[in-house]
Amino acid sequence: MKAEAKQLARRAARERRDVASAALGASAPGLIARHFLRHVPLSTGSCIAGYVAMMGEADPAELIERLSAQGHVCALPRVAAMNEPLVFHRWRAGNVLLPGAHGTREPQPDAPVCRPDIVLVPLLAFDSVGRRLGYGGGYYDRTLAALREDRAGVLAVGVAFSAQEAQDLPEEQFDERLDWVVTEKGAQAFGSASSRGQA
What is the phi/psi pair of residue 14, to 5°? -60, -40
4 is in an annotated binding site: no
158 is in an annotated binding site: no
- What is the distance between the alpha carbons of residues 38 and 17, in angstroms, rounded to a whole number? 24
CA distances 10 to 14, 37, 60, 125, 156, Å, are 6, 29, 21, 8, 20
185 is in an annotated binding site: no
2 is in an annotated binding site: no
133 is in an annotated binding site: yes
9 is in an annotated binding site: yes
75 is in an annotated binding site: no
51 is in an annotated binding site: no
31 is in an annotated binding site: no
136 is in an annotated binding site: yes
Annotated binding site: 6-10, 52, 57, 132-140
Binding-site sequence positions for substrate: 52, 57
Residues forming the annotated binding site for ATP? 6-10, 132-140
